[in-house]
Chain A
């Protein structure tokens, strides 16, 4: 019985998690410095990278249509804001990502719970679920464009499809692996089926659900971009194709960077939500990166 020991270990683990990727750091105030040092080092890496991007192409005489230097991409960014309605296209892509992610994860979680509660249905459906899971979801993009035209809907649909599976599989596996003794404990208190789900199974699936949501957040961006690449005249995927047609390499770079930023924001939102919901887990279990 040493609560002090447990708390100290937890504090050290928490500090380790914020300090960086190293798991086995010595405890003590040095962790704070190491954390600050890690941030400074990360910024330094960025600066070195930007400098190399700016100066190396010139040094090696790489033409700008192959690899435009950083400053050229920066000025292209401002040109696109003014002339190419960059914000408008970014907004459309972001909305499609949010819609696809929300619908896909909701459906994934829902069907995961339903199949988790109905082992027989899962047994019957499992070959088809597996087949759909293996099928490359982005290959459906042209089909959806043919069905739904040059609108936002085929893009959202690709995102829904691609987000759906990792979340459904995570939820299903989690429900299946709930400790049967926990369920028996609830049953011994005369719990109803619904109480077992609400008090035991559902909360137990939340950590794997959030792992699925993290994956889903990045996959949603991929799904939407592929949809936009295939057809339409709006969204960042469209700007990618447009820039390529113009031979404007800098424009392609700007679009890739904005897409990455949208992905980072989506991922960050999931991580923030996860920290709020799963606050009861020891900090070391949160993968912060």
Chain B
């Protein structure tokens, strides 16, 4: 039996009215179809401005597609819904809340009882290696720890699908590798489904089961690459796989990285 599909974009288009161009419409995403199966981690890579974030925002129900539909757990997305949680490059921690209170934010909004909220938050703080920092305020933590707290907040609402928009791109290289490792392990242990947007080609290879390559705007999916390597739960180990280099080279070619003259000539 085919595993259940957790999130699906069916022939999705998104057009915006670009303010700087008067009433002219800009197509951010065109005719994108993606289906992510239960427990699968799929990365989307593409040039900046190709509509990757637009796709995620539609997945989160923050705005609706101009055409096509988004389904989460078989239900059509008509607005924010409890199955999905997203995480951005910015940690978005509230400076007036302690780490524990920040982790509880989603639960508090969903009116979970205080005792239960606290219990779930503390368990996640522990699991994200933040024990002892629950009473600290965000400004007292380093960038990596803040992003861990953001991950704990995302996991606290027990989403079936995680939407992640370059969550580690503001971190230094080593912190990034450690957080990738932690994220991959957590996703594997909890069997979470994730759609992961990144600029980092190697990150997309080491974290995911499948990579989707998007074209420049209007964003379309131009290639789908299954990552057929062991160690999706251990990116640091997977990084050493001999197939990572050639795959990254292939992705560079797909994205026309390293041929700026040709790109500008278009």
Contacts and interface: CB of A to CB of B under 8 A. Distances in A.
Interface of A: 1-3, 5-7, 10, 179, 181-182, 184-191, 195, 199-200, 203, 206, 280-282
Given A188-B62, A188-B86, A281-B95, A1 B137 contact: no
A187 B142 contact: no
A200 to B, nearest CB: 7
B84 interface: yes
Contact of A6 (B57, B81, B96, B142): B142
Interface residues of B, number: 34
Contacts of B142: 1-3, 5-6
Contacts of A5: 142
Given A182-B94, A281-B95, A10 B109 contact: no
B109 A195 contact: yes
B49 interface: no
Contact of B92 (A2, A6, A185): A185
A53 B84 CA distance: 72
Contacts of A184: 57, 60, 62
A10 B140 contact: yes
A199 B92 contact: no
Contacts of A182: 92, 94
Nearest to B82: A190
Contacts of A1: 142, 144-145, 175
A61 B86 CA distance: 77
B92 A189 contact: no
Nearest to A10: B140
A182 B150 CA distance: 12
Given A179-B92, A182-B94, A199-B109, 13 more contacts: A3-B136, A3-B141, A181-B88, A182-B92, A184-B57, A184-B62, A188-B61, A189-B80, A189-B157, A190-B79, A280-B95, A280-B96, A281-B139
Contacts of B109: 186, 189-191, 195, 199
A6 B140 contact: yes
A283 to B, nearest CB: 10
Contacts of A189: 80, 85, 105-106, 109-110, 157
A105 to B, nearest CB: 20
Contacts of A203: 94, 96
Contacts of B175: 1
B80 A187 contact: yes
Interface in B85-139: 85-86, 88, 90, 92, 94-97, 105-106, 108-110, 133, 136-137, 139
Contact of B94 (A10, A187, A200): A200
B57 to A, nearest CB: 8
Nearest to A196: B109
Q: Which of A7, A185, A191, A206 has the most CB of B within 10 A?
A: A185
A186 B92 CA distance: 10
A7 B145 CA distance: 14
Contacts of B141: 3, 6
Contacts of B145: 1, 3
Contacts of B108: 199
A206 to B, nearest CB: 8
Contacts of B95: 280-281
B24 to A, nearest CB: 23
28 contacts: A1-B175, A3-B133, A3-B136, A3-B140, A3-B145, A5-B142, A10-B139, A179-B90, A179-B92, A182-B94, A184-B62, A185-B88, A185-B92, A186-B109, A188-B86, A189-B105, A189-B106, A189-B109, A189-B157, A190-B80, A190-B81, A190-B109, A191-B109, A199-B109, A203-B94, A206-B96, A280-B139, A281-B95
